Chains A and B, each alone.
Chain A
């Protein structure tokens, strides 16, 4: 511009025509102004672009990226051992609108292992109006590299997370599983879906009450028992006196890492969903009610010499003593006749009140969605109450049963099961379900059942195991229990240790175990569930036992009420 002015000044000196000169200068000034305006407009535009438009564009693109890639929090056991984690993977997607030659892309991609078939690829990528189509999820680094090497326009990768279950089927029912997007499908994964998603990027864990070592032992011994006794399935649970579940196994199980060939029966959690008539293990509750209500004492006599007639049915004993029995004998030898008569001493109303207090009539609260409700009789009359005294006529889950029995044995203070570590503390001021004295006597009776009763095969040398066995026929809906030859059984053991302060409670149940040489061709719980419990106790007692507890059955007062035949 200055050069133009200078030129104009020179021209003014050399020119005589002022009007012509001014017009010339004005034209030059206008031209220079236009040039300047254009240049500064470009600079201004660029500044706005860099400082405002591009800035927000970058922020938007980041938001989209983080929104999709969401990492879930890990799940660990009570000792910090990893159970479930999310690892970074890459997932391949196509942008059909940006693809040049779909046929060529299909031909190249179909040769990569793990990719869909050429037909499926073609179908996915043929719609040019789409901008996003998943091709394959969670590819390995090798496949990722192979696809990248192809250099196909419109093929991209998205950072993704895959849920990995470190120990395969070991924790399958309790921890649960996730779908391909990482959303919980069942178990803890489903119950804590929001929390796991929220705490994933904060490096927080979900600490469960489970113990890897104990879970492995229980799983191994139960699998072994199911195989040895040719059972259709089985379940076992180990719980502490605070209600913390240390191990929970249900067989058959599934591998949460591979849900493709998983059957619905394998997904079924028998511990929390499998309602069943518990059989003689419910005599623990029956005896506790009799003692706590004051209707009977250890020495009370109940005649079990003849079957008990109730309407058109008669209550009989399996290998009965055929003589009058004390309450202690009725429990230790598991007499149905005597148990029915014990129930008659306190009646249906008292029984229902105690069962409600023990939580046997309501659904148990647990941190997994798969929790079943009990099946209770519509009409709670004397006949129903008598049937329930020896474990029929009412169906409950093993979890409910374990919680109820644990409450009786825990000095009569209610035990509420949990799967979250640190949630429950020892609470002596908790709700009382039976008296401390009743609790102590029931513990002694259960010790006697292991010492000289039906649970003898659960005894472990050097450990004060308490327990009770129960065998029941499987109900077939309205069809009763099936014909004599085709009846299937559930065999159950429930017990714990040490006797005086049971800190660990165990329930083992086998579904339709067969008679084998090992079980002396018997299918009762004393010959299959009890030995299974023994194998579990044998391995977990050295891990958990307080060495200050020594076995001493000499002061077992209940023994003086028990007459051992032969």
Chain B
């Protein structure tokens, strides 16, 4: 009887110690997880600040001022500078280019 009680107490103590150890491991892992989450939050914050700074750098007013400073002599494109695909290949310059393009394509196909 006494032996049984003693054995039970010993086992109980051993199980208790195991549970305690597991508990501390969980606490340690939880702290580690919190640290990782904090790091993720910090990096996310940093990324947000970086994208905000990038947005400021891309501000149209700033870009316009930079263009005026470094691209003097150039101006925004106008509609009459853009022509359609058909119109381009219908022009004198475009027809030559079209022939050259066709030859290039034929050559490429022959190689294949």
Task: List residues of chain A with CB under 8 Å of any chain B CB.
Answer: 47, 50-51, 55, 74, 81-83, 85-88, 164, 166-167, 170, 203, 212-213, 216, 220, 460-463, 538-539, 541-542, 545, 547-548, 550
- Helix, strand, loop or mixed for chain B's interface? helix
- Pick the residue among B23, B52, B85, B86 that contacts A87 (CB under 8 A): B52
Whether A462 pairs with B80 at a CB distance below 8 angstroms is: yes
Q: In the docked arrangement, what's the CA distance between A539 and B84, Å? A: 18
Query: A85-B48, A166-B55 in contact; A547/B78 too (CB < 8 A)?
Result: no
Closest to A219 in B: B60
- B39: CB under 8 A from chain A? no
- Pick the residue among B27, B52, B78 that contacts A166 (CB under 8 A): B52
Q: How far is the CB of A352 from chain B (nearest CB, A)?
A: 41
Q: How far is the CB of B37 from chain A (nearest CB, A)?
A: 10
Q: How far is the CB of B62 from chain A (nearest CB, A)?
A: 10
Selected A-B contacts with CB under 8 Å, 6 pairs: A81-B58, A85-B51, A85-B52, A87-B49, A88-B49, A548-B86
Whether A547 pairs with B55 at a CB distance below 8 angstroms is: no
- Pick the residue among B27, B56, B78, B84 that contacts A548 (CB under 8 A): B84
Q: In the docked arrangement, what's the CA distance between A15 and B44, Å? A: 81
Whether A547 pairs with B52 at a CB distance below 8 angstroms is: no
> Which residues of chain A are within 8 angstroms of B4 by Cβ–Cβ distance?
none
Whether A216 pairs with B87 at a CB distance below 8 angstroms is: no
Q: How far is the CB of B99 from chain A (nearest CB, A)?
A: 22
Query: A51-B23, A212-B60, A550-B87 in contact; A81/B80 too (CB < 8 A)?
Result: no
> Which residues of chain B are within 8 angstroms of A88 by Cβ–Cβ distance?
45, 48-49
> Which residues of chain B are within 8 angstroms of A74 by Cβ–Cβ distance?
48
Residues from 63 to 93 in B contacting A, C-beta threshold 8 Å: 76-87
Chain A proximity mask over B13-29: 1 for CB below 8 Å, otherwise 0 = 00000001001000100
Q: In the docked arrangement, what's the CA distance between A55 and B31, Å? A: 12
Q: In the docked arrangement, what's the CA distance between A425 and B85, Å? A: 28
Whether A203 pairs with B20 at a CB distance below 8 angstroms is: no
Query: A47-B20, A87-B45, A213-B60 in contact; A164/B52 too (CB < 8 A)?
Result: yes
Residue among B27, B45, B55 with the highest chain A CB neighbour number at 10 A = B55
Residue among B44, B52, B79, B81 with the highest chain A CB neighbour number at 10 A = B79
Whether A82 pairs with B83 at a CB distance below 8 angstroms is: no
Q: How far is the CB of B13 from chain A (nearest CB, A)?
A: 11
Instruction: Knowing that A50-B23, A85-B52, A460-B79 touch, tell me 18 more A-B residue pairs with CB under 8 angstroms.
Output: A74-B48, A85-B51, A87-B45, A87-B52, A88-B48, A88-B49, A166-B55, A166-B59, A203-B44, A216-B60, A216-B61, A461-B80, A462-B80, A463-B79, A539-B76, A548-B84, A548-B85, A550-B87
